[in-house]
């Protein structure tokens, strides 16, 4: 039986085994997928041990997405752009590192929420690892504008500068939260503020009428950010769809077949 896993610390909360089991059943793929708790300072050894046991691939979650870059012997373009790896593929030629987070987010916005990114104004809140992973996939959909807002402006500026040439003239820019100008069609919260029930300090005016507000975090009830966005007329979406879509992207990389996600997302949502 082909073996896969997800590495993290902590890892008990992970929904990945449930998601991949559903994908396998749906596509007729025979595989096992387990959670693996890796020691904080022992990620590389944990990966090698899994390969020695016959593992074919692994997902990588907090806090190992940067360690996974070092473990990989080759990186995909999107992993290099993200500076982080969430998917490892153990091939005959070595370990390939990929990042499916951004593709997952974009698939959730475009396919599941039915909101095109092309020609739209997009506001990305935060400039850390979560934000970094989604810039390239967003720009591949050719938004009219992508503004990266962050508490530390220099971090946002460095990120915007890295991708400026890809976006085209004047498409990608950066600013502090207090300097955001105009209304946006899509507002993405990539900060960790929701973990501590805090709100990124943005004005309600950032939401255009009927805007889509997406928080990368998810839970049984809407995050503080989504509650705030909802009070100002935005359509709401949490990070559960992104979780399922990034998993589908990884599954496709490993197995060569892209699973349908709607039923899996619906089933996970019902259990929250």
Q: Are residues 89 and 115 in the same domain?
A: no
Q: Are residues 227 and 193 in the same domain?
A: yes
Q: pLDDT digit string (tens) for 238-261?
A: 999 999 999 999 999 999 999 999
Given a contact cutoff of 8 angstroms between Cβ atoms, the answer to whether 122 and 98 are in contact is no
Q: Catalytic: 65?
A: yes
Q: Are residues 134 and 260 in the same domain?
A: no
Q: Are residues 70 and 125 in the same domain?
A: no
Q: Is 33 left (phi over 0), alpha (psi -120 to 50) or beta?
A: beta
Average pLDDT over residues 212-218: 97
Rg (CA), the chain: 18
Q: pLDDT digit string (tens) for 24-79?
A: 999 999 999 999 999 999 999 999 999 999 999 999 999 999 999 999 999 999 99
Structure tokens at 193: 């503020």
Number of separate domains in the chain:
2
Q: Which residues are annotated as a binding site for NADP(+)?
A: 126-130, 216, 239
Q: Are residues 228 and 165 in the same domain?
A: yes
Q: Any idea what the CATH number is for the domain that residue 43 is in?
A: 3.40.50.10860
Q: Are residues 58 and 81 in the same domain?
A: yes
DSSP string, 217-261: ---SS--HHHHHHHHTT-EEE-THHHHHHHHHHHHHHHHS-----
The answer to whether residue 168 scores a pLDDT higher than 90 is no
Q: Are residues 132 and 175 in the same domain?
A: yes
Q: Are residues 252 and 147 in the same domain?
A: no
Q: Which domain holds residue 164?
A: 102-237
Q: What mean pLDDT, rounded, does the chain reach?
A: 97
Q: pLDDT digit string (tens) for 97-138?
A: 999 999 999 999 999 999 999 999 999 999 998 999 999 999
Q: Are residues 107 and 233 in the same domain?
A: yes
Q: Which residues are annotated as a binding site?
A: 14-16, 61, 86, 101, 126-130, 216, 218, 239, 246
Q: Return phi, psi of residue 100, to 5°.
A: -100, 0
Entry pTM = 0.96
Q: Any idea what the CATH number is for the domain that residue 190 is in?
A: 3.40.50.720
Q: Are residues 106 and 92 in the same domain?
A: no
Given a contact cutoff of 8 angstroms between Cβ atoms, the answer to whether 114 and 106 are in contact is no
pLDDT for position 195: 86
């Amino acid at each position: 039986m082909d073996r896969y896993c997800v590495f993290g610390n902590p890892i008990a909360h992970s929904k990945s085994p449930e998601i991949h089991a559903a994908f396998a059943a749906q596509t007729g793929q025979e595989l096992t997928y387990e959670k693996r708790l890796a020691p904080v300072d022992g990620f590389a050894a944990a990966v090698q041990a899994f390969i020695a046991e016959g593992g074919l691939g692994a997902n990588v979650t907090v806090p190992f997405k940067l360690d996974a870059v070092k473990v990989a012997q080759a990186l995909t373009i999107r992993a290099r752009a993200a500076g982080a790896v969430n998917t490892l593929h153990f091939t005959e030629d070595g370990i390939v590192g990929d990042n499916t987070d951004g593709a997952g987010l974009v698939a959730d916005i475009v396919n599941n929420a039915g909101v095109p990114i092309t020609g739209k104004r997009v506001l990305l809140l935060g400039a850390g690892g979560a934000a970094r992973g989604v810039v390239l996939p967003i720009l591949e959909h050719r938004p009219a504008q992508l503004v990266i807002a962050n508490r530390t402006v220099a971090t946002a500026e460095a990120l915007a500068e890295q991708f400026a040439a890809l976006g085209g003239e004047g498409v990608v820019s950066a600013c502090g939260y207090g300097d955001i100008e105009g209304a946006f069609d899509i507002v993405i919260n990539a900060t960790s503020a929701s973990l501590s029930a805090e709100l990124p300090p943005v004005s309600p005016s950032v939401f255009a009428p009927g805007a889509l507000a997406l928080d990368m975090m998810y839970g049984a009830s809407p995050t503080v950010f989504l509650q705030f966005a909802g009070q100002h007329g935005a359509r709401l979406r949490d990070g559960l769809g992104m979780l399922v879509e990034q998993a589908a992207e990884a599954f496709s990389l490993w197995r060569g077949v892209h699973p349908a996600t709607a039923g899996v997302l619906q089933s996970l949502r019902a259990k929250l």
